Amino acid sequence: MSTTYTLDTATSRATPTPVPMKRMTVPAIVRRKGGEPLVMLTAYTARTAQLLDPHCDMLLVGDSLAQVIYGLPSTVPVTLEMMAAHGAAVVRGSYHALVVIDMPFGSYEASPEQAFASAARLLKETGAAAVKLEGGEAMAPTVRFLVERGIPVMGHVGLTPQAVNVLGGYGARGRTPEEAAKIVADARAVAEAGAFAIVIEGVVEPIAVTITQAVACPTIGIGASAQCDGQVLVVDDMLGMFERTARFVKRYDDLGGRIAAAAEAYAGEVKARAFPGSEQLYPARD
């Protein structure tokens, strides 16, 4: 029995409460290779994590919070401080899913030593179990350096958003034989370096299938293939919070539209002085 934070949804306050810790572990994720598909969604807040946790094997505190939370044009401006703050919130709001945190741009590329310092900070400050970093063969030595020092690493190949300025946009990758071969080689290198899982993003489907068959660790697809060992989506995209979404996103709700409709109804009642009504007011004592 360990102590974690559970959320009182009636008050939105976190209070320390002893609960059984039954989180997914890295070895448990690895054992799912070729088995029941892994379910992964992004989460950035404690309440969202609480809602998603029972349904997910992993929660990714993605640097996609740049656009989703902060309204930034890309993930490049994200800082370690941002990732640490949101990562800690997601850990507090969950008890079952393995929590993985993105390493932000500029926090790991310079050297394996820089990557270790950044990753250690994120795990210490958040309680998360693993980090994710982008890149293939060039980052394989860094992946190995981290894993050998006790930090589980999830890889990320194909469309790598942090490299948007080099790639020139967010289009699908691997349309030429040369680029396809490079992506497969990147995945092999990261897997051989010790990554416990690899996200494959925005590639033509045959590449994702080839990688999934070629590496020993689970693959997590996003715009890749249903044949991957699992799938991940940005939760706000999946919920329909934005008008425009990528081709590979399936919208499971129109939460954005429903929020707008609720706000419109609220505004109408305020302007009509219909809210607050008697049910929302405190009566004077007799």
Give the CATH number of the domain where residue 261 resides: 3.20.20.60
Do the domain assignments include residue 82? yes
Confirm whether residue 134 is marked as ligand binding: yes
| Residue 114 C-beta-side C-alpha neighbours within 13 Å | 12
User: Of the residues 109, 125, 178, 201, which is catalytic?
Assistant: 201
Do the domain assignments include residue 108? yes
Do the domain assignments include residue 87? yes
Do the domain assignments include residue 236? yes
Do the domain assignments include residue 286? no
Residue-level length of the chain: 286
Domain count, the chain: 1
The CA angle 253-259-261, to the nearest 5 degrees, is: 105
Confirm whether residue 132 is marked as ligand binding: yes
Confirm whether residue 57 is marked as ligand binding: no
Question: Domain range for residue 229?
Answer: 2-280
Confirm whether residue 102 is marked as ligand binding: yes
H or E element at residue 82: helix 80-92
Do the domain assignments include residue 285? no
Do the domain assignments include residue 172? yes
Give me the sign of the Cα torsion angle 217, 27, 32, 41: negative
pLDDT tens, position by position, 229-280:
999 999 999 999 998 887 888 999 999 999 999 999 999 999 999 999 999 9
Do the domain assignments include residue 16? yes
pLDDT tens, position by position, 200-238:
999 999 999 999 999 999 999 999 999 999 999 999 999
pTM here is 0.89
201 is catalytic: yes
